[in-house]
Structure 1
Amino acid sequence: MKNTLTFPYQAQYCISHSPSGNENHLWLVFHGYGQLAEFFIRKFLPYDSNETLILAPEGTNYGYLKDFQGRVGANWMTKHEREIAIENNHRYLDQLMVEILKNFEVLPTINVLGFSQGAATATRWASRWEGQIRRLILWSGGFAHDLQWNLAKEKFSNTEIISVLGTKDELITQESIEKQRELFQLLEKDSKPFIFEGGHELPAEVLKKIMAQ
């Protein structure tokens, strides 16, 4: 017999500074497959300020990136016990936001950026979270295909959603682009992506343009 057990669990995250409670903007940034939050957040530190707080949760699944030793990376899920991983992610992210937002009497605007695998995780969570998302950036990734679309449409009705794609991204196919266009249409959102010259990456000059919008 195979059963499950729920128990308290420690999860990692990185934050650009200790919240003062006076920040006007919170950016929640989701790393991609095989990355770690402590390195991913560095790309966003130029935007850290008294008004802007950067929060980078870390996937709770870990593995060696090559063979059985060396660098370790995190991921949000694999196909093994996928549904359990999704629910664990939701509980983790919900609790993380409770812990961060309790510092604020006036809530900041919430912006979410998901890179690669982190984009699907971000859309799953954001479509279910009780708070309001102002901007949702899907970078080198897209909507999870298993969203509850009627609920997501209502949830994202006042959310600006931007897709960011590199012209040389080896992980993005024309088929996946067409699929994401269909999903944007389900949400009645503009599906015109922001295109940059590059691959599966977050170039600093492109990130600057996205963060400034």
Structure 2
Amino acid sequence: MNFTAADWARAAIEKIEEIEARGRRVLLVGGTELYLRALRQPFFPSPPTDERLRARLTTIRERHGPERLHRILERFDPAEADKLNPRDWPRVQRALEFCLQTGEHISRERPLRPEPPAAAARIRIFALNPPRAELYGRINERTEKHFANGLVDEVRQLLHEGVPAESNALGAHGYRRVVEHLRGQRDLLSAIEQTKLDVRHYAKRQLTWFRHEPDVEWFNGFGDDTSVQRNVLARQ
């Protein structure tokens, strides 16, 4: 079973309300923009993930590129396809899955999304902007540690226990490349180096996404920098 961004947002709101009821302040730490968006602007109800359908669409994307998925979406939901960049494959694929599972257009359903929770209006976004070269160096170092600490054995065990290779969990950075390695599609060194590249690209997309978000408060440096910590606390 996949734990989606919408599932996470519902659970997060419950926990936020519980913590605030005790007179405490809530800190959400991370950088996955989809989850932040799900919290601030709840998604409309959608069907559970069809793993077979997702696997077929993933195969199409990997063999023919994300543009092929976008062309398919143009046939099913041209209004939605017109809004999306052909290379924004997560949103394109989600729109396709919705159309194929429900027979409805996601572009028509989006206006029906629920109202944001009261907590959404109280969210302040603090974003870090560390030196790019040092950021990439830390990403490379952390990736090597993940593999050295048993990532391959962990993924092998998850597959043995029946977790689908196409599940959201095994599509995360690092895990997806290990699955490819265990399937004989790439050697271990390639899996490590590709994971480094994947995460560096993701970090770049995160920075780009947050720069387009309104009301983001930026701090130069890393979160373990005491001067950054003091500056953040001074904004409270």
Which TM-score tier does this pair reach, normalised by the shorter chain? 0.3 to 0.5
Please state which structure has a larger fraction of its residues in helix. Answer: 2
Please state which structure has a larger fraction of its residues in strand. Answer: 1
Higher relative contact order (CA 8 A, sep 6+): 2
Q: TM-score, normalised by structure 2?
A: 0.31
Q: TM-score, normalised by structure 1?
A: 0.33
